[in-house]
């Protein structure tokens, strides 16, 4: 653990178990490391993901052997698909206890398959200089693999023989000076290293040759920092003279003054057929993954435009399978490489005009809604949260309502979501990790996503920081109301909407978590106006999912 600490690792998330005793004690006894104890490995995994998403540094996971390892898999998948650095250290039985009905023993070798960037079956521990050198070098490479090229999880499997607990009276076998030399590392790979763009001159010339292009920015969690990323995209847009269509899952909506043509309400106006012809681009520069909006994806797929895909990870970011030119690197490098071009101001003006008209329509409608509507929750959060508040968005309707209605401004609220695998797994656990040792944070979630991860309430006592959970309770899975399956009656309610009868105030009381019921918009605004400095608080907002569906249709369909 000393090597990991010197490499810049700060936090080790451990779950109780016997076989992992050497790893747990090593983490706990190192003053440079914070050891967080979380009972449930599934929650522990997502807690680590949330913390790593915020810090951009690898977080270490430690668990015992057997089924404990399997419970990491959902978090490992999310980390893999979202490019989040993790170091998964799993304890195991030695080879002679495998495949012989030994208790708590499963096949852990490459158990996460291709979801990890690297796997190492570690040697059995041995107190010798050569083995310590091997361990040090393996850890150095593991941290590097988790961060650079294609960031993500790395799995190291540690077999241990009994005895597992250290001897209190044991004398050091290796001289302290030798140990210090073996712990020495020559690099701190947790520090951010920029990724250069492979600058293909022909590709840049093709990009610069278009006057009627658009920049589409999806889910991006930039290691270079939110403000730097926003500045880079603004520079690109200014040099190209193109509008920027921004999903909520990147820093742009929180730094809106940096961009002169930021477009956030495309999902609404691209539903209007009379708008489409005048907005057809000849070129599309996509940065990161595609935005969440199904309407935008459908429209992009219908365009006869040249496409360019910019990403700082070597992954395919185009589910539309367009003919596209890949550009590998960070936005600021591409922006610096571009020259100021002769632009068509009428092109960006047409986008600004449509955006302004749509914003005015949506804002006036949402302002006038007195009854509790799920979409207005996201809208109000974007306008009233304290500046810089980290926000985590649950999957399903929470992230979609935020994409529809999260207002552009300068509140600089970093926004995260588990949009790698796009599941509701680990929603609360990830938000707790994001909030750990950071600013007071907010989770926006539906009732099913919250209940699916309610076991994470066990981990609230480990939180050093503050998390306010805005819980929209519409008694079921609201996203299914928007699908054709919603018309099949009772079968729909039972197998898809799956309404629950949990009393959230009682659930919170059982875990010692503060609970508030916001019965009106005034209640809600009062609750989010000042976020607590520490602890977990749940604010329940009860809505009607069928009424929410109808209200959403009215708002998005209005001219």
pLDDT at residue 177 greater than cutoff 70: no
Are 39 and 457 in contact by the 8 Å Cβ rule? The answer is: no
pLDDT above 90: percentage of residues in the chain = 74
Please, what is the angle between helix 374-384 and helix 345-368, to 10°? 110
Give me the mean pLDDT over the 255-260 stretch.
83
pLDDT for 198 equals 56
Please identify, in words, the CATH class of the domain defined by 2-183.
Answer: alpha beta
Looking at the chain, which residues constitute the CATH 3.40.50.1220 domain(s)? 201-353
Please count the residues of the chain: 559
Give me the mean pLDDT over the 93-120 stretch.
93
Average pLDDT, the chain: 91
Residue 376: strand, helix, or coil: helix
pLDDT at residue 259 greater than cutoff 90: no
pLDDT band at 181 (very low <50, low <70, confident <90, very high): low
Give me the mean pLDDT over the 141-162 stretch.
95
Least confident range of 74-78, 184-188, 289-293, 349-353: 184-188
Residues 6+ apart with CB under 8 A from 448: 396, 424, 476, 477, 498, 500
pLDDT for 185 equals 67
How are beta strands 34-37 and 11-14 bridged, if at all? parallel
Q: Could you give the C-alpha distances from 240 to 233, 340, 353, 442, 530, in angstroms and in order?
A: 11, 7, 19, 36, 41
Give me the mean pLDDT over the 377-393 stretch.
97
What is the CATH number that goes with domain 369-557?
Answer: 3.40.50.970
pLDDT at residue 477 greater than cutoff 90: no
pLDDT at residue 385 greater than cutoff 90: yes
pLDDT for 409 equals 94
pLDDT at residue 180 greater than cutoff 80: no
pLDDT in tens, 14-43: 999 999 999 999 999 999 999 999 999 999
Highest mean pLDDT among 320-329, 462-471, 472-481, 493-502: 462-471
pLDDT band at 127 (very low <50, low <70, confident <90, very high): confident
pLDDT for 168 equals 66
Give me the mean pLDDT over the 66-87 stretch.
97
Report the 10 Å Cβ neighbour count for 67: 11
Are 371 and 474 in contact by the 8 Å Cβ rule? The answer is: no
pLDDT band at 253 (very low <50, low <70, confident <90, very high): very high
How are beta strands 59-63 and 34-37 bridged, if at all? unpaired
pLDDT at residue 176 greater than cutoff 80: no
Least confident range of 222-226, 272-276, 417-421: 272-276
Least confident range of 10-14, 39-43, 161-165, 297-301: 161-165
pLDDT band at 86 (very low <50, low <70, confident <90, very high): very high
Residues 6+ apart with CB under 8 A from 87: 4, 9, 58, 59, 60, 61, 142, 143, 146, 153, 154, 156
Looking at the chain, which residues constitute the CATH 3.40.50.970 domain(s)? 2-183, 369-557
**Residue with the larger pLDDT of the pair 122 and 497:** 122
pLDDT in tens, 194-205: 555 555 778 888
Assign a CATH topology to domain 201-353: Rossmann fold (3.40.50)
pLDDT for 179 equals 62
**Residue with the larger pLDDT of the pair 476 and 269:** 269
Burial class of residue 87 (count of CB atoms within 10 Å of its CB; 0-12, 13-18, 19+):
buried
User: Can you name the residues that pair with 327 across neighbouring β-strands?
Assistant: 310
């Amino acid at each position: 653990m000393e090597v990991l600490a010197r490499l810049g690792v700060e936090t080790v998330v451990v779950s109780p178990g016997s076989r992992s005793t050497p790893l747990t004690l090593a983490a706990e006894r190192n003053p440079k490391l914070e050891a967080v104890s979380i009972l449930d490995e599934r929650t522990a995994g997502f807690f680590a993901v949330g913390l790593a998403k915020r810090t951009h540094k690898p977080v270490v996971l430690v668990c015992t052997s057997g089924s404990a390892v399997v419970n990491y898999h959902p978090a490992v998948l999310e980390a893999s698909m979202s490019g989040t650095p993790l170091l998964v250290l799993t304890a195991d039985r030695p080879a002679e206890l495998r495949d012989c009905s030994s208790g708590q023993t499963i096949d852990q070798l490459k158990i996460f398959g291709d979801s990890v960037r690297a796997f190492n079956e570690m040697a059995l521990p041995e107190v010798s200089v050569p083995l310590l050198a091997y361990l040090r070098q393996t850890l150095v490479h593991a941290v590097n693999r988790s961060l650079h090229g294609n960031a993500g999880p790395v799995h190291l499997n540690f077999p241990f023989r009994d005895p597992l607990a250290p001897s209190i009276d044991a004398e050091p076998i290796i001289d302290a000076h030798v140990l210090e030399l073996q712990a020495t590392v020559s690099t701190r790979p947790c520090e951010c290293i920029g990724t250069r763009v492979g600058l293909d001159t022909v590709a840049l010339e093709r990009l610069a040759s278009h006057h009627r292009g658009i920049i589409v920015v999806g889910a991006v969690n930039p290691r270079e920092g939110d403000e730097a990323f926003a500045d880079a995209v603004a520079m690109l847009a200014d040099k190209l003279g193109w509008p920027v269509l921004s999903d909520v899952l990147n820093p742009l909506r929180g730094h809106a003054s940096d961009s002169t043509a930021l477009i956030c309400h495309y999902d609404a106006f691209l539903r209007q057929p009379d708008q489409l012809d005048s907005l057809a681009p000849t070129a599309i520069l996509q940065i990161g993954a595609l935005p969440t909006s199904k309407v935008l994806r459908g429209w992009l797929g219908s365009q006869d435009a040249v496409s360019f895909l910019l990403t700082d990870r070597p992954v395919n970011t185009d589910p539309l399978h367009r003919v596209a030119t890949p550009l590998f690197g960070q936005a600021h490098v591409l922006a610096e490489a571009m020259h100021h071009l002769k632009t068509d101001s009428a092109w960006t003006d047409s986008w600004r005009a449509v955006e302004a008209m749509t914003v005015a329509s949506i804002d006036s409608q949402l302002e006038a809604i007195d009854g509790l509507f799920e979409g207005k929750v996201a809208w109000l959060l974007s306008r009233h949260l304290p500046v810089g508040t980290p926000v985590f968005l649950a999957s399903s309707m929470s992230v979609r309502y935020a994409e529809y209605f999260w207002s552009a401004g300068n509140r600089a609220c970093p926004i995260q979501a588990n949009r790698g695998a796009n599941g509701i797994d680990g929603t609360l656990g990830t938000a707790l990790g994001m909030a750990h040792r950071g600013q007071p944070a907010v989770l926006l979630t539906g009732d099913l996503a919250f209940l699916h991860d309610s076991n994470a309430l066990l981990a609230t006592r480990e939180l050093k920081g503050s998390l306010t959970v805005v819980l929209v309770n519409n008694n079921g899975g609201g996203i299914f109301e928007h699908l054709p399956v919603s018309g099949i009656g009772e079968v729909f309610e039972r197998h898809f909407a799956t309404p629950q009868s949990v009393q959230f105030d009682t659930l919170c009381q059982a875990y010692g978590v503060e609970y508030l019921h916001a019965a009106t918009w005034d209640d809600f605004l009062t609750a989010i106006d000042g976020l607590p400095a520490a602890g977990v608080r749940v604010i329940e907002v009860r809505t009607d999912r069928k009424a929410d569906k109808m209200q959403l249709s009215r708002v998005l369909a209005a001219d």
